[in-house]
A and B are shown apart, each in its own frame.
Chain A
Amino acid sequence: MSVEISELLKPFYQVFEDLYRFAKDAKTDGEKVAGYFCTYSPQELLHSAGYFPVRVIGGLGATPLADQWLQPFACSFAKSALQAGLSGDFSFLDLVMFSHTCDTMQNLAEIWRRRVSGLEVVIVSTPNLTEGDIPLNYLMKELERVKEELERISKVQITEDRLLKSIEVYERHRSNMKSLYALRRKNPSALNGEDMFAIVMSSFLMKKEAHNEMLENLIQSLKALPVKDVDKPKVLVGGSVCQVQGFIEAIESAGAFVCDDDLCMGSRSYVLPPIYDGNPTEILARMYLSRVPCPAFHKPGHDPASYLLDRVVSSGAKGVVFLQTKFCDPYAFNYPHLRRTLEKEGIRTLLIEVEQNQPVSEAFKTRISAFLETLQ
């Protein structure tokens, strides 16, 4: 990799020193910071209400405080996030936004409201059916309600103009991320998986305006690189993990090349159709409903397996590693269908159940290495 590109990548890696460093700095500078739990949370509304939206990502370590309120079968993401909330690690947040996705997230929102003090809790009741006029009209009304709630809390009037400007910033960002994903298809050697996930993680934790600039500079330089494939076995990472960094690093140090992903903490948040015309809440409602659905949602006509197969084929991946968060039921329901479809096409798969609050284990590395040995 050229010196210039490794210099351009450095700032993306800064988030790993402290995931919320940018949020904390903003707070110190007198800005308002909002945490959001899921990419179905309309960040554009938070942005236009004057908040710096950052994604809540689970951390490492035991979760004794959260274990008092969550059952053993709640996922490690919910537990580690609640642990951070209860232990005061999110004191830099003014507000948290939950979106109704899986059962755990819905209940976590209520536990959070009752147990974590010092910040506002806003819940967006996103419809689980994402196709048709009824969900669309419902979500438009819900977004109007959330907008009013945010106006009341922030004392900022979210005018149509303000919201359109925020949508523009976010749309530019999605478009940049889409370009980057497309660029990796065309020129796999341009960025490895670890670099890509540093970019992805930072995209959720930095200001979109700054991230846009960094992305645009990077994309420009990457475009100038000669097109070259990689000689390592290419794998796509799917599943339901949110804290991905350690896992991607372990997969690549075992000798693989993570060429693409089908993760919420990745492409699923960015591979959206372009926005529609209309009033800003309609734009947002249509956009969130038209995205590749989270496994907790139902979109008639969308087959997650053929969508995944398309990504695998077009990225040139030889195998798929599913990193499934333990107790993530919505994803577990999808998995057998995904695996069958891929294996029918001769694509090898490996499922590893992970706990996001635990470091990558030796057994994890052995499984990855053994999987790669079967790809050779």
Chain B
Amino acid sequence: MRSIYFLGLDIGSATAKAVLINEKRDICSWAVIPTGGRLLEAGEKVRRDALEIVGRVDEVHVEAVVSTGYGRELVRDKTRSVTEITCHAKGAHELMKDVRFVIDIGGQDSKAILLSKDGLVERFEMNDKCAAGTGRFLEVMSRVLNIPLEEIGDIAVNSGEFAKISSTCTVFAESEVISLLAQGVDIPKIVSGLCKAVSERVYGLASRVGVTPPIMLTGGVAKNRGVVYWLSKLIGSEIRIPENPQIVGAYGAALIGAESYLNLSIK
């Protein structure tokens, strides 16, 4: 009997993610690519990338495609679309059954999700419009400071000290950074201050929902050690990071697809 698969596609503002799972709910392959301006094409490409890992694209038997992320409605041939809030909760719960709180920091928004003991979404909050407390904030700052995005976290953690960044607004924070540079403040201190600023916004959001450990951080920004450091310090609790925090939403989507197919109740 040939294997059947379930595909989760998470088309976010910064990256598109695909996760392919089998009937046993194991992750068989995954892929992450930058979304760019063309959401539809990014969705197609990331899907192909994930499928190619397990075999010839046209021979991989995908039984259900569940899309999520802000480009979820654009995905062709989807079985259904589900919001990233439900998908992150689903994925996080599957990875660590006791997780009660998920913080997802993505490219253009951040979310705080309170889960019930059974992994159902109890309550959630999303950031409002503005880019403060999102990956975009760090992207803008990495350009201003001319430091690669992926190095920001390590620089922050090794800094030991931090500069105070008080503007909530990304554009104003950018001018604040430029002022700090003009004053001759060390770059690592500024970088650490920026990670703290992102964490403070997210902490405010999470507090509105009511932080309940154990906590998992998902989304691309979870790879930033500086943000993880500051966020756990502010919350006063350890934060768990899954092996691949970026694909938790797509994994949750794939699981929802599998459960629908296997006629299980969707949790």
Contacts and interface: CB of A to CB of B under 8 A. Distances in A.
Given A362-B70, A376-B266, A370 B86 contact: yes
15 contacts: A353-B128, A362-B70, A363-B126, A363-B129, A366-B126, A367-B126, A369-B83, A370-B85, A370-B86, A370-B121, A370-B124, A373-B85, A373-B86, A374-B122, A376-B266
Contacts of B82: 373
Nearest to B256: A373
A369 B266 CA distance: 15
Contacts of A2: none
A363 B84 CA distance: 11
Contacts of B40: none
A366 B266 contact: no
Q: How large is the interface on B (under 10, 10 to 19, 20 to 34, 35 or more residues)?
A: 10 to 19
B120 interface: yes
A196 B194 CA distance: 48
A361 interface: yes
A170 to B, nearest CB: 39
Residue of A361, A362, A366 with most chain B CB atoms under a 10 A cut-off? A366
4 pairs of A and B residues whose beta carbons are closest in the complex: A370-B85, A370-B83, A373-B86, A369-B83
Interface string B46-79: 0000000000000000000000001000000000
A373 B83 contact: yes
Given A370-B121, A374-B120, A363 B85 contact: no
B109 interface: yes
Contacts of A366: 70, 83-85, 126
Contacts of A362: 70
A369 B68 CA distance: 11
Contacts of A376: 266
Interface in B95-124: 109, 120-122, 124
A265 B172 CA distance: 37
Nearest to B108: A363
Given A366-B84, A366-B85, A369-B83, A374 B121 contact: yes
